[in-house]
Structure 1
Amino acid sequence: MSDSQTQTLRVDGMTCASCTGRVERLLAREEGVTGVRANLMTGTVAVDGVAEPAKLAERIAAAGFSTPEDVTRLSISGMTCASCVGRVERVLAKLPGVVSASVNLADESATVRHLAVSGLPERMAEAVRKAGYDAQIATETSREDRAAQKEGEQAALLRSVLLAAALTLPVFVMEMGGHLYPPFHHWQHALFGQTFLWLVQFALTSVVLFGPGLRFFRAGVPALLHGAPDMNSLVVMGATAAWGYSTVATFVPELLPEGSRVVYFEAAAVIVTLILLGRWLEARAKGRTGAAIAKLVGLQPQTARIDRAGLVQEVPIAEVQPGDLLHLRPGERVAVDGMVVTGHSWLDESMITGEPVPVEKTEGAPLTAGTVNGSSALTYRAERVGSDTVLARIIRMVEDAQGAKLPIQAAVDRVTRVFVPAVMAVAALTFVAWMIWGPGLGQAVVAAVAVLIIACPCAMGLATPTSIMVGTGRGAEMGVLFRRGDALQALQGVEVVAFDKTGTLTEGRPELVALIATGDEAEALSFAAAAEAGSEHPIAHAILRAAEEKGLTLAPATGVSAIPGFGLEAQVAGRHVLLGAERLMTREGIALGDLPARAEAEAAKGRTPLYLAADGQALALLIVADRVKPTTRAALEALHALGVQTAMITGDARATAQSIAAELGIDHVEAEVLPDGKVAAIEALRQGGRKVAFVGDGINDAPALAAADVGLAIGTGTDVAVEAAEVVLMSGDLRGVVNAIHLSRKVLTNIRQNLFWAFAYNAALVPVAAGVLYPAFGLTLSPMLGAGAMALSSIFVLSNALRLKALRPALEAK
């Protein structure tokens, strides 16, 4: 840092005055530090001087504390190509305290990971502005401002296109009309004279260049002067070369050889007009790539109806606080995350779960912001508001994924870093070659201009981010959220998908799946439910739910006593009831008949058998099981169809696990795995260099989710699991795993198509523009055609990426 200043860093781990003193003493020794003040209450340290934040962070780490990192998003306008992206990234990366910077051309943003230093985000925005681009820190409100700004930019571009086209058309007709229809050429010259026609072309072209085309000069000239030329620089050099040569031919023709006194005003005007047209079409297409974010933001209501002191009033959503009581009318969207206080209704939660079936909501049920109420009114209490709501978190996840750079982009970045200087060198060599071996100065200028114009690296810069934006947005609509963009590339190479069992492959709660009674089924179920009525065990809940579904009335149970390792006993309706394992019945000498054979068969399927007896007589065999989710089998079959192997990692006994695996067609089983052994199980599946994805939902799944090549968390699971994963499946439906892999493969295919076009276009047309076909075939490439081809290349890339918006899920919800 050049100027002395005070910078404040957050410090984690300070717990007492001794800690603050230690931090102060260590930092005071750092070169450039003139003063240090640690604050235990705020967990910060203020440092005076010119020391770099990274050095201060190293000192703090050496003391046993840590400096947390922040992520800041910047909205940046004025970037036009891959060279702009590289320039902004380099400017940001040079700032002290910045760890990494990733710039996205498609959504015109930068994601910067940096030390938590006060004022650093503002300095980042200022550094980008000094580099020649407009930048601001992205916030919830700036997102709306940015959307309005983009609409204004599109409107301004359209006006520029229309004005440039209106001025260019006469120039084009005057110059090219005579080539297409010779009598028109003779008529013009006889009526107006060549000098007058050239003066008109000069006037109109000058207005085009320095009116609508002035935007290229404002960005391109400073970039050129700073030694970092970009697309604007190429346009400026190409158009100015054509205009300048023609101006000399018009006003001081004696400076040019006799045979070279021709004008190319139409080339300069058409170049600017076509590139402006391409910019406008790009801006429109970019707007469509961000449609998913706009749709998600649109789900958030702008106001809420709050009950304050018995008076219901409508207030802006920003004024809602946790604990507020809100009213929800039929058909309205839920304003914030909360819990139902009164009322009964059905809500459309398809934006979260992807399931079209409405969900019942009664007192105590959770509500999610953005979901739609049905036909009945509700009151609910706000729990999470603003950026803490599920909807806000979804929007952040999608934005983070859209702003990410995939590993495949690294090679593109290396090429584009040197691309524009290389193009300028090729243009210079082209000019020299045409001057030596060509017909004259005029053709040398035209060939060099064609090289400059056709090689603008717009398509290269747009090839990857546009596909990521559209693909991750489409994923969000399908209920698949990519928390990290690089997971999008990693997922398409996965060869094995491993699943946790409970809550992932299964429903996660036991259910009574069968009751084999020796007499009256209803009587047997009512006895069992009455005995279990006071228990909190999941199996007890399963029996009680079954009784409730059948509408049974339960007699009160007395003398309920648990028998550890065996079951329980109770008095129900004057009868002595026993409920438990077979060993309980054996101990009590109760004859079971043929029930044990059925129990053994059910146990082999991974189900839990329980016996019920009353007054020494066997009444029933109850079969309790954690049901496999209805869509699990279809999802696993679809994964096999994609060429992906499946595995199950569970703590269940091997026989039970093998039984479930056989039922579902799972390829590999890792059974009897302790919670801390799931990572080792992942490593075992990795043998042979295979890429492994893991799908889980519980706290104990978090290490495995983090250890796998790609972790997919069930969105209905714990927050810990969601935070550890790279991909979140918003519903508990495993069809989301299939759709995530399907989407990943389609996006990567789309990216490869875009990159092939972007590079192939330049590889094919730059040599043609330089004139390699002229000696053999007499063919050259007009700068006007070059400008059109350059604009079309960007439009092709954007249009190809937008095809992903129509991508259908591999497995759709029924």
Structure 2
Amino acid sequence: MDTIFREPTPKTSASDIKKTYPVLEMSCAACAVSVESMLKHTPGVSDAGVNYANQNAWVQFNPKVVSPQELQSAVRSIGYDIVIDAEDPLQVQEEAQRDYYESLKKRTILAIVLSVPVVLIGMSVMDSAEGYWNYIMMVLSAPVIFWLGRSYFINAWKQARHGNANMDTLVALSTGIAFLFSAFTTFNPHFWMMRGQHPHVYFEAAAVIIAFISLGKLLEERAKSTTSSAIKKLMGLQPKTVRIIDGETERDLPIADVQPGNIVLVRPGERIPVDGVVVMGSSFIDESMISGEPIPVEKTMGGAVFAGTINQKGSFRFRAEKVGANTVLARIIQTVQEAQGSKAPVQRLVDKIAGIFVPVVLGISVLTFITWMVVGGPNALTTALLTSVTVLVIACPCALGLATPTAIMVGVGKGAENNILIKDAESLELGYKVNAVVLDKTGTITEGKPVVTDLHWLSIPNGQNQLESVLYALESQSEHPLAEAVTEHIKQKGIAAASVNSFESITGYGVQAQYDGVTYVVGNRKLIEKQNVALNDQVEREADWLREMAKTVVFFASNEQILAIIAIADPVKQTSRQAVDKLHQQGIDVYMLTGDNPQTAAAVAHQTGIRHFQADVLPSDKASFVKQLQANGKVVAMVGDGINDSEALAQADVSIAMGKGSDIAMDVAKMTLITSDLTSVPKALRLSRKTVATIRQNLFWAFIYNLVGIPIAAGVLYPGFGFLLNPMIAGAAMALSSVSVVTNSLRLRVTDL
């Protein structure tokens, strides 16, 4: 269909709907800009946005004015596509991307295979009088340019139809002109000989340009195809079916059929399907995906439970209250979808410049031809043709196209050597601007697993080993999540569990059992008071001191006295303080966010030298905090390891996941630290500075090359020096500019982080 352009509607209509569609065939950030612009200018669309990172477009439109089919036609008119009619559009998108990658891989390999002999022939017989070599080069290069490289010409034409130009336009023009000029020379070599010129051809330059640019696109697609879908993994946290209690019977329902008010049964080890409130039973639930804290939370009658969290050992029933898009998990998914996107990498700037560069070069070429026709004398036509074609040949975008991807490739490799996995160019291109780093506490600053830090025996009437054996027996039968830390601590000593009897778990307090006629208990202060065991001043002081150190205190006692005080904590990593100090030295503000209590947060902040922190923070609060920093002019890097960090990671300008964290955190993040060593964060930001500096140097020399080379190719030195640039020398200069860019990028390999 013909697309009618108009200014975007400034206000939305009450009948507007908002839909998200997968986008196909986008290969750069500029593609996303083109699709977004086309959608915004389609009648009936009030607003639209295209997310290059996850290849999605959201469109707010009036279905009475424009249909999804018309939106698809508008996008197709500029060479892209959106998936509108499919049961599983994400699967269609993934299959299309996989097919495109395989097709591009075959085309690139074949282009390289065909280009190599053309280059070898061109280098060895460029001055040969035997014309058949030119025919051989033409036959080999023609399929490279017009078959293997046809997409550049097709896309350039589609862009031109709408008055746009990009890197595809430059590639199509330079290779097309070079080939046509060379083909003319091949069929009519006497045209130049009669005018005293050697019949040069430039088939090798045209073929190599296609091969080089295709290789760059293949490497980019490879990086994109190996990243898994964060959204699919989040959706995978929700069970497909739900067990409903209907009167005295149980029945399984699809998750989509659950309604608020349904009574849901959850058994040990199962994921909770929807949000609700416990109405029968009790259990401990791993809510680390929501709070980020490693210690499961006890749920009893009236306790709130959330979709995607994991039930531990108990079984319970709860009443569904929020289902479908209203659950906490669904809101996290929606937020990640909206916030996870590309933040305009440097290559987008290059494409914008190319849009101006192309008509300027064309204008210079035409002006050069006209000028030499006027002032060229007897050989005006020959000189005019040679100089105008030389302008187009020397303006080849190869150096410009390689400037960013080569530096990014070397920078990514350097990061991998230093245990920093970089997902895409965006993080490297933004990292050098970061002036605020937000750190999650659990698993990022700390180890992420509770361990026994202190086991202080106060009274040992029957020997410590025997009492440790009793303690081991009680904790090994306990369902409390902290009990595992105690059993692991004692197990390392090689002590076996005693044979206790009358074991009883007291919900909300702890456990008790009998051994050799004596009752022993392990639990909190409430349990000790319930057993009427005295807490003397020494015990009180030590317990208070441990709590001030952000540790959880557990008491082990007989029915007569306190036997031991056990302190459990999530220890701070050894390198956390060093990492924070290095960030401060780089002039970066460091913030810590945690779902833990203020006392624990303050203790960790003190140990690591962090000056700014917030406690009792929910996942949405983390994302809001990042937004607030951004609103205050900060460029924010978020470092986290859990599902609860995914919203903030997606919102941040630069997102960094700890390598031992959750899959979703690593999917959303643009960088992953393999070792979970926090000192890799300042290294990653330094790598960004050095990579961006290299990109700027490459772009500078690529543009300087054109600024100097194009006037010389046009003949500005001829009046004063009698010098006209030979098109073959122009081709060599073009190749030399590419070599210089690649060589400069390779210097990153020996840089020190």
TM-score scaled by structure 2? 0.65
Contact 2:114 2:144 in 1 (8 A): no
In structure 2, give the amino acid aligned to 1:491. G
Matched, 1:451 2:451: no
Contact 2:597 2:615 in 1 (8 A): yes
Residues 611-650 of structure 1: matches in 2 within 5 Å?
611-650=555-594
Once the two structures are TM-superposed, the CA of residue 114 in structure 1 deviates from its matched residue by 7.7
Aligned counterpart, 1:696 = 640
Contact 1:480 1:729 in 2 (8 A): yes
Matched, 1:159 2:100: no
Once the two structures are TM-superposed, the CA of residue 627 in structure 1 deviates from its matched residue by 1.7
Matched, 1:422 2:360: yes
Residues 451-490 of structure 1: matches in 2 within 5 Å?
451-468=391-408, 471=411, 486-490=426-430
SS at match of 2:570: strand
Cα 1:642–1:483 shift into 2, 3 Å: same
Once the two structures are TM-superposed, the CA of residue 645 in structure 1 deviates from its matched residue by 2.8
Once the two structures are TM-superposed, the CA of residue 455 in structure 1 deviates from its matched residue by 1.0
Once the two structures are TM-superposed, the CA of residue 129 in structure 1 deviates from its matched residue by 11
SS at match of 1:153: helix
Aligned counterpart, 1:262 = 196
Cα 1:636–1:760 shift into 2, 3 Å: same
**In 2, Cα distance between equivalents of 1:760 and 1:458:** 14
SS at match of 2:634: coil
Once the two structures are TM-superposed, the CA of residue 788 in structure 1 deviates from its matched residue by 0.9
**In 1, Cα distance between equivalents of 2:601 and 2:431:** 26
In structure 2, give the amino acid aligned to 1:552. I
In structure 2, give the amino acid aligned to 1:490. L
SS at match of 1:690: coil
Once the two structures are TM-superposed, the CA of residue 525 in structure 1 deviates from its matched residue by 2.9
Gaps of 5+ in 1: 3-49, 76-81, 105-109, 131-135, 172-199, 298-396
In structure 1, give the amino acid aligned to 2:489. A
Aligned counterpart, 1:68 = 20
Aligned counterpart, 2:234 = none
Contact 2:171 2:397 in 1 (8 A): yes
Aligned counterpart, 1:530 = 473
Residues 145-544 of structure 1: matches in 2 within 5 Å?
146-171=104-129, 205=134, 208=137, 212=141, 230-237=170-177, 250=190, 261-265=195-199, 268-269=200-201, 271-277=202-208, 406-437=344-375, 440-441=379-380, 442-468=382-408, 471=411, 486-518=426-458, 519=460, 520-544=463-487
**In 2, Cα distance between equivalents of 1:703 and 1:448:** 54
Cα 1:215–1:700 shift into 2, 3 Å: closer
Contact 1:608 1:625 in 2 (8 A): yes
Contact 2:179 2:206 in 1 (8 A): no
Judge which range, 636-645 or 203-212, deviates more.
Answer: 203-212
Contact 2:408 2:691 in 1 (8 A): yes
Deviations for 1:737-782, whole angstroms, at most 9, x for unmatched residues?
4454344334433322322222121112112222333444444432
Once the two structures are TM-superposed, the CA of residue 539 in structure 1 deviates from its matched residue by 1.9
**In 1, Cα distance between equivalents of 2:638 and 2:206:** 47
SS at match of 2:453: strand
Aligned counterpart, 2:327 = none
SS at match of 2:563: strand
Cα 1:121–1:547 shift into 2, 3 Å: farther
Aligned counterpart, 1:745 = 689
Contact 2:438 2:592 in 1 (8 A): yes
Cα 1:524–1:493 shift into 2, 3 Å: farther
Once the two structures are TM-superposed, the CA of residue 697 in structure 1 deviates from its matched residue by 3.4
Deviations for 1:630-666, whole angstroms, at most 9, x for unmatched residues?
4434443443454433221124444432222121222
**In 1, Cα distance between equivalents of 2:544 and 2:718:** 86
Matched, 1:575 2:504: no
TM-score scaled by structure 1? 0.60
In structure 1, give the amino acid aligned to 2:430. A
Once the two structures are TM-superposed, the CA of residue 786 in structure 1 deviates from its matched residue by 1.0
Aligned counterpart, 1:757 = 701
Once the two structures are TM-superposed, the CA of residue 571 in structure 1 deviates from its matched residue by 2.6
Contact 1:158 1:280 in 2 (8 A): no
* Aligned partner of 2:553 among 582, 605, 609: 609
**In 2, Cα distance between equivalents of 1:102 and 1:791:** 35
Deviations for 1:138-197, whole angstroms, at most 9, x for unmatched residues?
4546644543443222111123333444542414xxxxxxxxxxxxxxxxxxxxxxxxxx
Percent of aligned positions that are identical: 32
Deviations for 1:450-489, whole angstroms, at most 9, x for unmatched residues?
2221112232233334544565577678765666754443
In structure 2, give the amino acid aligned to 1:272. F
Once the two structures are TM-superposed, the CA of residue 118 in structure 1 deviates from its matched residue by 8.5
SS at match of 1:536: coil
**In 2, Cα distance between equivalents of 1:777 and 1:102:** 53
**In 1, Cα distance between equivalents of 2:741 and 2:71:** 35
In structure 2, give the amino acid aligned to 1:692. V
In structure 2, give the amino acid aligned to 1:619. L
Cα 1:69–1:728 shift into 2, 3 Å: farther
In structure 2, give the amino acid aligned to 1:423. V
Cα 1:141–1:232 shift into 2, 3 Å: closer
Cα 1:290–1:479 shift into 2, 3 Å: farther
SS at match of 1:507: coil
Once the two structures are TM-superposed, the CA of residue 578 in structure 1 deviates from its matched residue by 3.9
Contact 2:424 2:670 in 1 (8 A): yes
**In 2, Cα distance between equivalents of 1:287 and 1:762:** 26
Deviations for 1:388-411, whole angstroms, at most 9, x for unmatched residues?
xxxxxxxxx9xxx9x968343333
Aligned counterpart, 2:252 = none
Contact 2:523 2:555 in 1 (8 A): yes
SS at match of 2:514: strand
**In 1, Cα distance between equivalents of 2:185 and 2:709:** 24
**In 2, Cα distance between equivalents of 1:660 and 1:103:** 38
**In 2, Cα distance between equivalents of 1:478 and 1:498:** 21
Once the two structures are TM-superposed, the CA of residue 511 in structure 1 deviates from its matched residue by 0.9
Judge which range, 661-670 or 774-783, deviates more.
Answer: 774-783
Contact 2:524 2:553 in 1 (8 A): yes
Judge which range, 780-789 or 738-747, deviates more.
Answer: 738-747
Contact 1:693 1:711 in 2 (8 A): yes
**In 1, Cα distance between equivalents of 2:145 and 2:624:** 57
Once the two structures are TM-superposed, the CA of residue 787 in structure 1 deviates from its matched residue by 0.8
Cα 1:120–1:635 shift into 2, 3 Å: same
Cα 1:86–1:498 shift into 2, 3 Å: closer
SS at match of 1:70: strand
**In 1, Cα distance between equivalents of 2:518 and 2:445:** 40
SS at match of 1:406: coil
Aligned counterpart, 2:267 = none
Judge which range, 539-548 or 682-691, deviates more.
Answer: 682-691
**In 2, Cα distance between equivalents of 1:737 and 1:120:** 43
**In 1, Cα distance between equivalents of 2:561 and 2:107:** 80
Once the two structures are TM-superposed, the CA of residue 426 in structure 1 deviates from its matched residue by 0.8
**In 1, Cα distance between equivalents of 2:693 and 2:475:** 56
**In 2, Cα distance between equivalents of 1:210 and 1:88:** 36
Judge which range, 675-684 or 523-532, deviates more.
Answer: 675-684
**In 2, Cα distance between equivalents of 1:702 and 1:678:** 9
In structure 1, give the amino acid aligned to 2:557. A
SS at match of 1:168: coil
